[in-house]
Structure 1
Amino acid sequence: MAQHFTLSELLRSDTAEARGIQNIPPHDVLPRLNYLMDNCLDPIRQMWGKPIGVNSGYRSPALNAAIGGVATSQHVKGEAADITTGTVEGNKRLFDMICASDISFDQLIDEHNFRWLHISCKMGGIGNRHAILHL
């Protein structure tokens, strides 16, 4: 059970709310969301030592399409979250800390010059590529 994150944080979406889109994950996605919180987000929060916000977590296929996400997005699978410390400088420091850590992740992406970070991990750590990207 995650210490610093909740399922509701990963399901909340201003876009879904504004457009009346249901953002409820199917039952097979819930274990992946819990794995993401327990094995990726919580360790990142513990390492950072301060709160971290979730901009986007799980996205239903309808929500993902509404925001222009790719159909194969790890957000739809419950394997990804977009996070922020609240500042570009903080996001850059957190990015560097994650890169230097032993946290198992699939992708770590600097989005738009550290406006936020995308972090993903696959359940069980199997197939995690440890890919570090800048978009």
Structure 2
Amino acid sequence: MTTKLTAHFALEELACTQHRELDNTPPAEVVGTLRTTAARMEEIRRLLGDRVITVSSGYRSPALNRAVGGSKTSAHLTGHAVDFNCYGFGPPREVCRTIVGSDIRFDQLIEEGQWVHVSFDPRMRRQVLTKRPGGGYELGLRS
């Protein structure tokens, strides 16, 4: 059974993991946040021409976050962040450029190389970062 959060995003999609040995069931308070996150992802989907968005990571339980080497303060822990691709639109850098050029509100947008990370943490700083090839992040998008 699929639990629809919005027209195009389901709870199971925003809480899936390849680490089957770990329970990644979001607590009730996080499900509400995921509903809001899914609604904001619908805005991004519309911006990208209503093309399919493929989610690779949404909510992460503390155990899953540790297993994947996530930050201890990751917005994935609270259900505010999504890692995704929109293959029908273009590469991650182009997706990021399009989001930055829009009026969509976000806290953090990171061009991770192979995917896009977006956070809707309530701070809504509109911080834009690019992952450096050797590790770490730099402010802004590389051209």
TM-score (norm 2): 0.82
> Which residue pairs with 1:44 in the alignment?
44
Q: Deviations over 1:51-91 (max 9, x none)?
A: 01001000000000011111111001100000112389432
Q: Deviations over 1:9-68 (max 9, x none)?
A: 101111x21xx1000111111111111111x21001111121010010000000000111
Gaps of 5+ in 2: 132-143
Structure 1 ranges of 4+ moved more than 6 A: none
1:78-93 superposed matches below 5 A: 78-86=79-87, 89-93=90-94
Q: As a proportion of its length, which structure holds more helix?
A: 1
2:48 and 2:89 in contact (8 A); partners too: no
1:36 and 1:80 in contact (8 A); partners too: yes
2:60 and 2:76 in contact (8 A); partners too: yes
> Amino acid of the residue matched to residue 127 of structure 2?
A
1:88 and 1:116 in contact (8 A); partners too: no
**Greater relative contact order structure (CA < 8 Å, 6+ sep):** 1
* Aligned residue pairs, count: 126
CA RMSD of aligned residues (A): 1.6
Identity between Structure 1 and Structure 2 (%): 38
1:109 and 1:132 in contact (8 A); partners too: yes
1:11 and 1:59 in contact (8 A); partners too: yes
> Which residue pairs with 1:6 in the alignment?
10
> Which residue pairs with 2:24 in the alignment?
23
SS at match of 1:28: helix
